[in-house]
Structure 1
Amino acid sequence: MKEKRIIGIDEVVPMTQLVPLAIQHVFAMFGASVLVPLIFGINSGIVLFMNGAGTLLFIALTKGKAPAYLGSSFAFLAPASIVIAELGFEYAQGGFVVVGLLGCIMAAIVWKFGTAWIDVVLPPAAMGPVVALIGLELAGNTIGGGTTGADLSAGGAHIAVFAITLGVAIFGSVLFRGFWSVIPLLVAMVAGYVSALCLGLVDFATMEAIGLGAGFTSMGAVQWFTMPAFSLAKFDADAIIIMVPVLLVITAEHIGHQIVTGKIVGRDLLKDPGLHRSMLGDNLSSAISGMLGSVPTTTYGENIGVMAITGVYSVRVIAGAAVISLIMAFFGPLSAFIGTIPGDVIGGITFLLYGMIGTSGLRILVDQKVDYSKNRNLILTSVVFVAGLSGLSISMGSTSISGMTLAAVTAVVLSLLFYILDRTGLMND
C-alpha cells in the first residue's frame, strides 16, 4: 500500500488493519449516536448494544453487500420528546416499534413492486437536495459546543484543538500515503485528543473515576462489567399517531443514504442486494431496538462520510466496528474513556464529515446529469433546499415538521404534482 487504494466491500482486511479501521468508524459515530440517549435521558449502554446488534443484523439481511453502520436516528427527536414529556419513554418505545414494523411492510411492498416509483416521488432533482440536507442540517452542531461540537466561543484552547483536529483530517486525507491514507480521521482524532490533553480540556475527574487518572490509583474501584438497561416497550394510540409521520422521513433518508453509498462504492445497492433488503434491515433493527429499551437506528451519515474520505468500503470493517460497539456496551471503562473525548475533537471531525454528506447530495445532481434548463428541475431543487434551510416549521396535529423532514415531504408532494401535470401534458417544458 505505497499509494492510497480502495478497499472493496468484499475485501478481507488483515487484523492489524481491521482494528484501527473499525475504531475509526466507532469514533466517527460515537458522539452523535450517544447524543440521542443523552437527550432522552436514558442509558447509553443499551444504545451502543443495539447499534452494534442492529448493524450486524443489517449486514446479515443485506448478504454482506451493503456497507452501512446503524446509529441512533435523529429523525425521531421532536415527536419522541413530546411523547416522553406526556407519557414517558416506554410509550415512545412503542411508537418506535410501530414505525419500524411499518417500515418492514414498506420493504415488502418494494420487494413486490420494485423501485421504479422512486424516480416518480423522488427524482434526482429532488433527491439530491434532500440527501445534501442530511449533512447540511447537522452542520451547525459541529460548532455548537457540548459533547458533539466545538465550543469556539470559549476561544483559545478550544479553537486550537478544533483547528488541529480538522487540519489533520483535511491534510491527512490528501497527503497521507500507504495505510495512513485510509485512517486520516483516526489520526486526526488522536492528534486532537493529545492536543486537548496538553491544553487541559480533557475531563480528568471522569478519567480518574474510570481508573485512567491520578496514576491509575482508582483501578480497583472500576466497574469493569456493566449490563445495558433493557426495558420493554409500552403502547399508546396517541403516541403512535404522533410518531407515524416520521416514517416518510426515514424512508427518504434511507433511500438517499443507499444511493449516496452506492455512488461512493461504485455499485447500485438499490438493485443488489436490493432496496427491500436494506429497508428491512434498517427498520427491523429500529423495531427491535424500540422493543428492548433503545432508540431507533438508521444508516449513519457520519460513517458514509468516513467511507467517502478513506476509500475503505469493507463490510468486515463495518462488522468489526459493530463488535466494538457491543463490547463497549458491557465494558464500562472503554465507553467512559471515549466519553471523555472533548466536543472540540468531535466537532473537528464532523465539520468535514457533514460537509462530505452535503457534497454527496450534490454529486447525485452531477452524476444523474440533472437538466436545469427544465423549469421543473430548477424549481424542485430550489424549493426543497429552501424548505430545509429556511427555518420554516409546519404543524401537523400535535407535532411539527421542519428542516430535512419538511424538505423530504415537500420533495415528495411537489414531485408527484409535477408527475401528474407531465402525464396530462400540461408542463410547458
Structure 2
Amino acid sequence: MSERKIIQVEDKVPAKLLIPLSIQHMFAMFGASVLVPFVLGINPAIVLFMNGVGTLLFIFVTKGKAPAYLGSSFAFLGPAAIVIDKMGYEYAQGGFVAVGFVGCILAGIVYKFGTDWINVVLPSAAMGPVVALIGLELAGTAASTAGLLDEKINGKNIIVFIVTLGTAVFGSILFRKFLSVIPILIAVVAGYIAALLCGVVDFTKVIKAPIFALPNFQPAKFDLEAILIILPVILVITSEHIGHQVVTSKIVGKDLLKEPGLHRSLFGDNFSTMISGLIGSVPTTTYGENIGVMAVTKVYSVRVIAGAAVLSIVSSFIGKLSMLIQTIPGPVIGGISFLLYGMIGASGIRILVDAKVDYSKSQNLILTSVIFVVGLSGVAISLGNVELKGMVLASVVGMVLSSIFHVLDKFQLTNDYDN
C-alpha cells in the first residue's frame, strides 16, 4: 500500500488544489476567529482581517519555512475582560500592544542565546506530555462548543456533531486521491448540510448584512494599569508557542526551532499581536486547529496557508460572507475540533516514542507523570489577574523539575547512575 503523498512546506500547489486546501484551513480556524471576538464583544470582521494579515506577516518573518495560521488567542480573555469592564476595549488593545512588544524583545534574547536551553528545561520526557496537553486540555472546549456539555442536550446538535465527526474520521482513512487531502473541508460541508436539514442555522443576520463593509478599525489607548493587568500573559503565549513549534516540527519532519528559528517565529507571532492591538483586533497566536489539519491531511505547504490568509482578509470586507461564516453552528466546529485536538495529543505521545524515552530512569518517569497530573488536575496558580493552569502551569513545573534534575545529573547524584 503506497502512502498518501506528503505536500511539504516549500512545495508549490496547483490552483485546482490550492483553493480548496486554503478554504479547508480557513474553515478549521472559524472557532478561533469568531468565538474570541464574540466573547470580547467586538465585530469578527476585524479579527478575520488581522488573522489573515498576521499570518502573512508570520510567513514573511519566518522566510516561508514555518507553516502556521495565526488565530485569535484565548489566553488574553481573562485579563482583557477585566480591563474592558474598567476602562473599555481600547485600553485592552494597549495591553495587547505591550505584550507583543515584550514578546519581540524576548525573540531577540532567544536569537542572542539560541535554543539549546530548551533541551535542558524541557527534555523529551517533559516536552512530550506538555505537547500532548495542548490538545488534551482543549477536549472539554470541543465538547462544549458542540453542545455536548449542555444541561439539556439538543438532539439536533448530536446529529450534526456525529455527521461532522464521522465524515472527518472515516474520510481521513477512506477518501482517496484529491478527496484524501480535504477531509476536514468535506466534513465541514457535510456538517453544515446536516445543520440546514435539522433547522439549526439562522440566516437572519446574513440577510440584513451589507454586501460590502469595512472592518471596524479603531486605535489603541494606553494605560499603565491596563498594561500591567495583561502583561503576565506573555508567560502563557510563549509556552504555548514553543509547544506549537515543537509539535509542528514533528509533524513536518523539520526542526523549526533551528530553521527558520524560534526567534523568528516568536517575533512573527508577537509582532502580529502588536499590529492587532494597534488597529482594533485581538492578539494572534499559532494555533492547534491549524496543526491538526496538517497532521490529518499531510499538507504542510506554506502557500496553502498563505492562500487561507488571503481568503480571510477578503472575507472580512464582504459583509454577507463574514456574517455567513458566523452561521456555522457549534456542533460542526466541535465535531472538527474533536479530531484535530486529539491529533495534537497524539503528537505529544509521538515525541516520546520517537525520542525512545527510557522510563526505567526514575527522572523520566517522574517528569512525565507529574506534568500530566498537574496539567489535567485543574490546579491553578494566580499571578495578579493572570491564571496559570493546564498546559502552561504543567510546562512551568516541568521546566523547574527538569532544571533541578539537570543539576543533580551534573553531579551524578541521581539513582539513575546506580548499577
Give the TM-score, by structure 1 length.
0.92
1:242 aligns with 2:241: no
Q: CA RMSD in A?
A: 1.7
1:418 aligns with 2:405: yes
- Give the Cα separation in 2 of the matches to 1:300 and 1:374: 33
**Residue aligned with 2:415, SS:** coil
1:226 corresponding residue in structure 2: 213
1:39 corresponding residue in structure 2: 39
**Residue aligned with 1:400, SS:** strand
- Give the Cα separation in 2 of the matches to 1:149 and 1:420: 48
**Structure 1 residues 360-401: Cα deviation after superposition (integer angstroms, max 9, x where no partner):** 111111112222112222111111111121111222234432
1:69 aligns with 2:56: no
1:310 corresponding residue in structure 2: 297
**Residue aligned with 1:394, SS:** strand
> Aligned letter for 2:170?
F
1:256 corresponding residue in structure 2: 243
1:176 corresponding residue in structure 2: 175
**Residue aligned with 2:353, SS:** helix
Report 1:96-115 matches (<5 A). Answer: 96-115=96-115
1:404 corresponding residue in structure 2: 391
- Give the Cα separation in 2 of the matches to 1:313 and 1:399: 34
Kindly indicate whether the alpha-carbon contact (under 8 Å) linking 1:125 and 1:365 is maintained by their aligned counterparts in 2. yes
What is the Cα deviation at residue 18 of structure 1?
0.7
Larger mean CA deviation between 399-408 and 364-373 belongs to 399-408
Aligned with residue 382 of structure 1, among 369, 390, 402:
369
Kindly indicate whether the alpha-carbon contact (under 8 Å) linking 2:239 and 2:392 is maintained by their aligned counterparts in 1. no
**Structure 1 residues 266-325: Cα deviation after superposition (integer angstroms, max 9, x where no partner):** 111111111111111111111111122111111111011000000111111000000011
- Tell me the percent identity: 66
Larger mean CA deviation between 406-415 and 349-358 belongs to 406-415
Give the TM-score, by structure 2 length.
0.94
What is the Cα deviation at residue 139 of structure 1?
0.9
Kindly indicate whether the alpha-carbon contact (under 8 Å) linking 2:37 and 2:43 is maintained by their aligned counterparts in 1. yes
**Structure 1 residues 218-241: Cα deviation after superposition (integer angstroms, max 9, x where no partner):** xxxxx1221111222222222222
- Give the Cα separation in 1 of the matches to 2:411 and 2:229: 36
1:218 corresponding residue in structure 2: none
What is the Cα deviation at residue 349 of structure 1?
0.6
Kindly indicate whether the alpha-carbon contact (under 8 Å) linking 1:3 and 1:177 is maintained by their aligned counterparts in 2. no
Larger mean CA deviation between 83-92 and 38-47 belongs to 83-92
What is the Cα deviation at residue 420 of structure 1?
2.7
- Give the Cα separation in 1 of the matches to 2:357 and 2:86: 46
**Residue aligned with 2:166, SS:** helix
Kindly indicate whether the alpha-carbon contact (under 8 Å) linking 2:46 and 2:316 is maintained by their aligned counterparts in 1. yes
Give structure 1 regions of 4+ aligned residues with deviation exceeding 4 angstroms: 148-153
What is the Cα deviation at residue 348 of structure 1?
0.8
Larger mean CA deviation between 376-385 and 198-207 belongs to 198-207
Kindly indicate whether the alpha-carbon contact (under 8 Å) linking 2:203 and 2:324 is maintained by their aligned counterparts in 1. no
**Residue aligned with 2:131, SS:** helix
Aligned with residue 332 of structure 1, among 319, 330, 334:
319
Aligned with residue 286 of structure 2, among 291, 295, 299:
299
- Give the Cα separation in 2 of the matches to 1:393 and 1:83: 21
2:17 corresponding residue in structure 1: 17
> Aligned letter for 1:177?
R
What is the Cα deviation at residue 150 of structure 1?
5.3
2:330 corresponding residue in structure 1: 343
1:278 corresponding residue in structure 2: 265
1:132 corresponding residue in structure 2: 132
- Give the Cα separation in 1 of the matches to 2:89 and 2:122: 33
Unpaired stretches in structure 2, ≥5 consecutive residues:
none
1:118 corresponding residue in structure 2: 118
**Structure 1 residues 114-146: Cα deviation after superposition (integer angstroms, max 9, x where no partner):** 11011122222222222111111111122214x
Kindly indicate whether the alpha-carbon contact (under 8 Å) linking 1:64 and 1:315 is maintained by their aligned counterparts in 2. yes
> Aligned letter for 1:105?
I
1:202 aligns with 2:201: yes
What is the Cα deviation at residue 4 of structure 1?
3.0
1:216 corresponding residue in structure 2: none
Structure 2 CA distance for partners of 1:239 and 1:428, relative to 1, 3 Å: farther
What is the Cα deviation at residue 179 of structure 1?
0.4
- Give the Cα separation in 2 of the matches to 1:375 and 1:33: 43
**Structure 1 residues 153-186: Cα deviation after superposition (integer angstroms, max 9, x where no partner):** 4342221111111111001000100000000011
**Residue aligned with 2:244, SS:** helix
> Aligned letter for 1:112?
K
Corresponding pairs, count: 414
**Residue aligned with 2:382, SS:** strand
- Give the Cα separation in 1 of the matches to 2:200 and 2:345: 30
- Give the Cα separation in 2 of the matches to 1:244 and 1:27: 31
